[in-house]
Structure 1
Amino acid sequence: MNKLSALLALISCLSFSQNKQILYGFSDIPQSLMLNPGGKVKNKGYLGFPLLSHIHVSAGTSGTTVYDLFADDGIDFNVKLQRAVNRMKPNDFFTFTQQLEVLSGGFSFGDFKRKNKYLSFGLYQETDFISYFPKDIAVLALEGNANNIGEFFQLNHVSLRGEALSVFHVGYNKKVNRKFTYGVRGKIYSSIANFHSIKNYGGFVTRQGVNNFYVHTFNLDFALQTSGIIRDEDEDSDFSEKDIVKRTLFGGNLGLGFDVGVSYNITKQWTFDASLLDIGFVRHSKDITNYEIKGQYVFEGINPLFPETNEGQTAEDYWNEVRETFEDLVDIDETTTKYTTWRPIKFNASLNYVFGKQKYEDCDCTRHDDEYMNAVGLQLYAINRPKGPQSALTAYYYRRFFKGLRAKVTYTVDSYSFSNIGLGMSAHLGSLNFYVMADNFLSLKNIYNAQSASLQLGFNYIFNKNED
């Protein structure tokens, strides 16, 4: 049982990232505006196919991989598990992020000659979860306390938060002149479910006892806040599918937020752009259940130390008495106090250089009205997390091939690896746009040993797309 608990804790090092480095700046795809509302716009209008316009899933690990634990290499699993727990650090993390665009669209507007403004809108569902690796808890579960007398196991290693919510958004983009474009996006959040426990202190220590072999001292300051998980006491039934739909359509705990972004053409070939996303909050006031344990508790077990079977006490009776004594000792405070959570702010910035204009077939001269065929650049990404920002740096190469085919290759250095190579392609077949993106191709030969992997895809219908 101890080894199983340690394994579950170890799995929490797996990490899913919110970084969309391939999509960022890929202005042929309308969804790139979701990463920078001030980005360049290359269509006069679009509609995303419902539930298909943007699907994003990604996964990774900042430490031990599945292959490290389960490879058929002749090494005992217990040895590999012990090595993995020892190698992991409290700042290693597990996160999960999934995004599904329900509806989306956009259109340009302005005066008849110069439609330099663009309005985009939509509704998407997002799930975001992060749990840092509870190093001390994993060691305690794996080794037990008898082998760690006098060792203080820290509670602050326990840090996690998770939320499922829907987001309705409206964005405004304006091309001020040939050099400068800016954009803003307003958001209404509707939280479906939330839980978080990120500011925990204290811990647990076992010492030699006086009245028993050991004395266990708990110095605890632990809190867990939840909303949308346990129904209010005045409600009669459990949660249903109708409840989920209702919360998705603004019937949950509501909040507000916004995105901002800019693009600036330094020269005809050099461009700088940046964005801040999800500057906002959610106020939780419905279906609230909070738990708090605060104080110092001393537990010396119960007498007799071992079950006296000749007096009719079974082993089960003994452990039930231990559990009941411990529950009576620790005071768990349960409340329904309202609380506020802040969204994880994300930052993007990139410096880009374009080159190589297309030439006419019948002469050695460039087509001045056309865009450049190639682009290279660097992109910086960061996201605010409970234990500090997580960041990534990406170098990319973008290429326009045929009339409707675009490709982007990326190389990313992040918390997971220094060898993440990604590829994204966007195809325009008439007014239909399809795109697909994936990364960490070098690890596909052994996916179980991959540090990270991601997939994005979607379908859009483009109106009046600017021709090459």
Structure 2
Amino acid sequence: MKTNVLAIILSGAVATLAIGDAMAQTQNSRSTYFLEGSTYRHELNPAFMGERGYVSFPGLGNLTIGAQSTGGVGDFIFKKANGELTTFMNEEVSSAEFLKGLPKRLKVGVNVDESILSLGFYAWGGFNTLGISVKSNTNVFMPDELFKFMKNGVASETGSSYNVKNVNIVSTNYAEIAFGHSREINERLTVGAKVKALVGLAKATMHIDELNILASQDQWTITPKNAELYMSAKGLIVPTKGETGNYQEDDYILDANGDRTPILKDGTDGQISYDDIDFDTDNLGPTGFGMAIDLGATYKLNDEWTFSASLLDLGFISWKNTTKGTMSKDFTFNGFSDISVKDDGTDNNKKLDTQVDELVDDLADLAKFDKAGEGLKRTTALAATLHLGAQYTLPAYDRLSFGFLSTTRMQGKHSWTEARVSANVAPLSWFEASVNYALSNFGSDAGIMLNFHPRGFNFFIGADVPMCKYEPAYYAPISRAAVNVNMGINFTFGPKHKRKYKTVETQSL
């Protein structure tokens, strides 16, 4: 497989779905939202106050990994008649069979959120938090028309045309230093806020408004429209093919017999050579700085009902050391000629992983960006998240509560929404658990969270798993899915927090 940046990003859309090891879903697990003993609830709503002060175990205080996609392994990997697995490009898989289950828009997230060090303590009239964390978020958006083109190619003797719109890939990697403060305003209202200093580590963005594709028997002609690529990183080296002399097979003009000539196609020298992208290891470091804020509030209507809301990651990062690429010229594409699409006895030893690698490589060849500038600056906004919550505590047994949480992720084409219901129980003073179910753009999932919080120590672990069928060979979801794993180890100190205002008048709804 090519070790170029673009192929790695594109593999999030295809290879990750095939092998089922993508990780996504930023921030603390939403399964902890209604667990009052949870150490990191303030990550979901800065108005939430901790049960005690705490200090995290370095690197393991709060680790969140997972996966989400509007497509699944069953949309791209199929079983042949002999039981072996193959990609959708195989001739045994009909176009109708492949396209019937394909989502109109394929969205894939690949993200990791890790707390490096975190501290919480009571002072200055409220609860305060200080945290250092690293976040990596990659999101892919691809229309079904692209996969129709890949599968069907030249569908008739007169040729075929395709209009692929809105291909969008963004990868954001940064460190965060956050200071938060929450306090009780009165017996009903608690408010909180966080101020975050952001340190940009790396950023890559690719968007293509349109790819107009004319597939004939002789050649496939690609006409791009409004296509731009940005890569930001300290020490990043982005050479052109002309600078490296590293040309690909389809960079050369073919003769009348379809054989390669030594003549390069026009404009090839200025194209980015993805294989040769590298880093100057003596010049690594931050490549951008920014700021963000979190805002939150809770309102205790009475002893049974509590409502809450938060708006997270309102901010931006200004990036330096940015290389820009553009794609505006027509070019010819040789097609997915190396993919195992036929069972003719010549490629029986070609494993599924190899087929997927070749598929991703050829997909990357559709993005022939010319280098248009380097050392540039650009500013991008963070993806904001809105939480709206309602919690009902059972009057007959106040250790049992039920919650509803609405989550909206605001990130343009990568936006999504989720509704989650949960049952939360704290049978012991040092143990609580949540069982929940969610519906979102990525299907449905069920989750469980266990939180152990005796004096001096806190350990929590939980997971959200898709409610769908799995491919046994990879134990990966066949259809759209969201999966999430969250764990952490922390050390607590001080007495349990007692509310400043204890009395809430009972008021009916």
| TM superposition score normalised by structure 1 | 0.77
Q: Distance in 1 between matches of 2:414 and 2:138?
A: 15
Q: Are 2:443 and 1:428 aligned?
A: no
Q: Distance in 2 between matches of 1:148 and 1:405?
A: 68
Q: Are 2:397 and 1:374 aligned?
A: no
Higher alpha-carbon deviation: 430-439 or 195-204: 195-204
Number of aligned residues: 406
- Say if 1:142 and 1:397 are closer, same or farther in 2 by CA, change over 3 A: same
Q: Distance in 1 between matches of 2:287 and 2:11?
A: 35
Q: Distance in 2 between matches of 1:300 and 1:272?
A: 56
Residue 326 of structure 2 corresponds to 292
- Say if 1:197 and 1:90 are closer, same or farther in 2 by CA, change over 3 A: farther
Q: Distance in 2 between matches of 1:452 and 1:144?
A: 31
Question: Is this contact kept in 2: 1:152–1:203, CA < 8 A?
Answer: yes
Q: What CA deviation, in whole Å up to 9, does each residue of 1:348-399 have, x standing for no partner?
A: 11111012566xxxxxxxxxxxxx2011011001111231630010000000
Q: Distance in 2 between matches of 1:135 and 1:349?
A: 33
- Say if 1:229 and 1:109 are closer, same or farther in 2 by CA, change over 3 A: closer
Q: Distance in 2 between matches of 1:459 and 1:448?
A: 28
Q: Letter of the aligned partner of 2:77 in structure 1? A: L
Q: Displacement, 1:30?
A: 1.9
Q: Letter of the aligned partner of 1:448 in structure 2? A: A
Q: Displacement, 1:198?
A: 3.0
Pick the aligned partner of 1:256 from 291, 294, 300.
291
Question: Is this contact kept in 2: 1:10–1:85, CA < 8 A?
Answer: no
Pick the aligned partner of 1:49 from 51, 57, 64.
57
Residue 87 of structure 1 corresponds to 101
Q: Letter of the aligned partner of 1:401 in structure 2? A: P
Residue 25 of structure 2 corresponds to 17
Larger Rg: 1
Q: What CA deviation, in whole Å up to 9, does each residue of 1:131-150 have, x standing for no partner?
A: 11343333333333464855
SS of 1:227 mapped into structure 2: strand
Pick the aligned partner of 1:449 from 454, 459, 477.
477
- Say if 1:222 and 1:145 are closer, same or farther in 2 by CA, change over 3 A: farther
Q: What CA deviation, in whole Å up to 9, does each residue of 1:19-42 have, x standing for no partner?
A: 732022323122110110012432
Residue 372 of structure 2 corresponds to 334
Residue 306 of structure 1 corresponds to none
Residue 112 of structure 2 corresponds to 98
Q: Letter of the aligned partner of 1:457 in structure 2? A: M
Q: Larger relative contact order (C-alpha < 8 A, sep ≥ 6)?
A: 2
Q: Letter of the aligned partner of 2:115 in structure 1? A: E
- Say if 1:266 and 1:149 are closer, same or farther in 2 by CA, change over 3 A: farther
Q: Distance in 2 between matches of 1:54 and 1:443?
A: 28
Residue 417 of structure 2 corresponds to 391
Q: Distance in 1 between matches of 2:488 and 2:280?
A: 29
- Say if 1:272 and 1:331 are closer, same or farther in 2 by CA, change over 3 A: closer
Q: Distance in 2 between matches of 1:68 and 1:223?
A: 27
Q: What CA deviation, in whole Å up to 9, does each residue of 1:215-261 have, x standing for no partner?
A: 83624321001101763699xx96367766xx4xxx33111111100
Residue 132 of structure 1 corresponds to 141
Q: Are 2:227 and 1:222 aligned?
A: yes
Question: Is this contact kept in 2: 1:89–1:133, CA < 8 A?
Answer: no
- Say if 1:444 and 1:233 are closer, same or farther in 2 by CA, change over 3 A: closer
Question: Is this contact kept in 2: 1:65–1:449, CA < 8 A?
Answer: yes
Residue 391 of structure 2 corresponds to 352
Question: Is this contact kept in 2: 1:259–1:279, CA < 8 A?
Answer: yes
- Say if 1:154 and 1:75 are closer, same or farther in 2 by CA, change over 3 A: farther
Question: Is this contact kept in 1: 2:213–2:220, CA < 8 A?
Answer: no
Question: Is this contact kept in 1: 2:75–2:101, CA < 8 A?
Answer: no
Q: Letter of the aligned partner of 1:335 in structure 2? A: G
Question: Is this contact kept in 2: 1:224–1:292, CA < 8 A?
Answer: yes
Q: Are 2:285 and 1:276 aligned?
A: no
Q: Distance in 1 between matches of 2:149 and 2:41?
A: 46
Pick the aligned partner of 2:178 from 138, 157, 169.
169
Q: Distance in 2 between matches of 1:187 and 1:392?
A: 25
Q: Letter of the aligned partner of 1:266 in structure 2? A: L
- Say if 1:448 and 1:70 are closer, same or farther in 2 by CA, change over 3 A: farther
Higher alpha-carbon deviation: 130-139 or 78-87: 78-87
Residue 239 of structure 1 corresponds to 279
- Say if 1:240 and 1:300 are closer, same or farther in 2 by CA, change over 3 A: closer
Q: Distance in 2 between matches of 1:88 and 1:67?
A: 6
Q: Are 2:150 and 1:141 aligned?
A: yes
Q: Distance in 2 between matches of 1:391 and 1:72?
A: 36
Question: Is this contact kept in 1: 2:420–2:436, CA < 8 A?
Answer: yes
Give the helix-richer structure, 1 or 2: 1
Q: Distance in 1 between matches of 2:157 and 2:447?
A: 45
SS of 2:148 mapped into structure 1: helix
Residue 189 of structure 2 corresponds to 180
Q: Displacement, 1:109?
A: 1.4
Pick the aligned partner of 2:441 from 407, 415, 425.
415
Residue 318 of structure 1 corresponds to none
Higher alpha-carbon deviation: 193-202 or 161-170: 193-202
Residue 364 of structure 1 corresponds to none
Q: Distance in 2 between matches of 1:52 and 1:223?
A: 38
Structure 1: 5+ residue runs without aligned partners? 111-115, 302-326, 359-371
Question: Is this contact kept in 2: 1:123–1:168, CA < 8 A?
Answer: yes
